[in-house]
């Protein structure tokens, strides 16, 4: 094994410290520098990680030739400028979700990374979690049959954002899982919502993704709920999956439940739906922190030069959907057609 990859983390507020903690736990990584505009935050983290340099000057940080990679964990409005500067400085770059504030910004970052031969990765953390990996395995084995629809709810009280609405804040988790599971890009999106606390920033939204062959997915997001809800239901023709991420251990339950309509009937009296109620079971999951697995994947991609699972194109697809959802919100929930991704983006895995 060669020298550890030297990493700098930008943004030490809510999520940055979690990234620092997980990166420091990996043998193939050296967290060399952490950067934040707040001296108070840096002082706090220096007490926890005295071996990591804390700086407020991001431009000076990028001039450090020993840094191999930059991890961006700032508010979304800063993602593009910080990531662009990192890539132009020759640093592999990891950006927390969503990748940037617009499709145009995502496309520019992808182009720079391509020209520079650098790894560009986006933090779609749930794709590295054991429950999502297990669900994908069950679905691809054909255990639940054909997927009919997916319903997701991600609700809690706060944390209120100042620069993005709740769909941009919470729905990326669900969208990334749905695209990964269906391995297909939606044809349209519609989104409705309201801003109750901060003018112009929706704190409750209902988003629908329409796919080919009458498949669809719904995502409810809210900062105004009394309890934390993290649920996704995947309804198949043979079985159904309930994924409850709030549960500590039993996060996935498979229901042997379905509804079948009679193949033919002559009169209304002959018409009876067939309801199948079977057993349910809980698959065993490997206990691991998804963020740690995600950080390791970033380091592995740098070492091997292999595009990560959640590369820039994955980030672009998600922002394309979020941008369309904002357009739909402004049109009172009218459906917005989604441009078919270019050929290099068509495979979602």
Query: What DSSP designation does 311 have?
Result: B
Burial profile 117-154: b = 16 or more Cβ within 10 angstroms, e = fewer: ebbbbbbbbbbbbbbbbbbbebbeeeebeebbbbebbb
The hierarchical CATH code for the domain 127-288+319-345 is 3.30.360.10
Please choose, from the candidates 102, 112, 121, the residue with its C-alpha nearest in 3D space to the C-alpha of residue 320: 102
User: Which residue's structure tokens are 């967290």?
Assistant: 31
Q: What is the pTM for the complete model shown?
A: 0.92
pLDDT digits (tens, 9 = 90+) for 72-124: 999 999 999 999 999 999 999 999 999 999 999 999 999 999 999 999 999 99
Residues of the chain with CATH 3.30.360.10: 127-288+319-345
Q: Is the pLDDT of residue 349 over 90?
A: no
pLDDT for 283-296, tens place per residue? 989 888 999 999 99
Q: Give the Cα separation of 112 and 344 in Å (integer).
A: 16
Architecture of domain 5-124+291-310: 3-Layer(aba) Sandwich (3.40)
Q: What are phi and psi of 211, to 5 degrees?
A: -115, 175
List every span in the chain annotated with CATH 3.40.50.720.
5-124+291-310
CA–CA separation, 148 and 215 (whole Å): 6
């Amino acid at each position: 094994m060669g020298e550890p990859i030297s990493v700098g983390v930008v943004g030490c507020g809510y999520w940055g410290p979690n990234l620092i903690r997980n990166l420091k736990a990996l043998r193939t990584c050296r967290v060399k520098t952490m950067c934040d505009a707040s001296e108070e935050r840096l002082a706090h983290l220096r007490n926890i990680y005295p071996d990591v340099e804390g700086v407020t000057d991001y431009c000076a940080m990028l001039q450090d030739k020993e840094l191999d990679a930059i991890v961006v964990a700032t508010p979304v409005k800063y993602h593009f400028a910080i990531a662009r500067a990192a890539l132009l400085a020759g640093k592999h770059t990891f950006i927390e979700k969503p990748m940037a504030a617009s499709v145009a910004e995502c496309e520019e970052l992808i182009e720079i990374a391509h020209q520079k031969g650098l790894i560009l990765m986006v933090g779609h953390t749930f794709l590295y979690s054991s429950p999502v990996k297990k669900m994908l395995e069950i679905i691809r084995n054909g255990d639940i049959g054909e997927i009919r629809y997916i319903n997701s709810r991600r609700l809690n009280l706060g944390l209120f954002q100042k620069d993005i609405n709740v769909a941009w804040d919470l729905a990326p988790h669900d969208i990334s899982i749905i695209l990964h599971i269906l391995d297909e890009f939606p044809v349209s999106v519609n989104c409705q919502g309201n801003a109750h606390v901060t003018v112009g920033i929706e704190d409750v939204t209902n988003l629908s993704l329409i796919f080919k062959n009458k498949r669809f997915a719904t995502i409810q997001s809210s900062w105004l709920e009394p309890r934390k809800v993290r649920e996704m239901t995947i309804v198949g023709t043979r079985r159904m999956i309930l994924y409850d991420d709030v549960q500590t251990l039993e996060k996935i339950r498979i229901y042997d439940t379905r509804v079948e309509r009679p193949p033919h009937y002559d009169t209304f009296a002959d018409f009876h739906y067939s309801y199948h109620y079977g057993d349910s079971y809980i698959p065993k999951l490997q206990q691991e922190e998804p963020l740690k697995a995600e950080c390791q994947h970033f380091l592995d991609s740098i070492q091997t030069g292999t595009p990560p699972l959640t590369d820039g194109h994955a980030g672009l697809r998600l922002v394309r959907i979020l941008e369309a959802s904002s357009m739909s919100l402004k049109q009172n929930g009218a459906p917005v057609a989604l441009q078919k991704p270019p050929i290099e983006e068509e495979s979602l895995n």
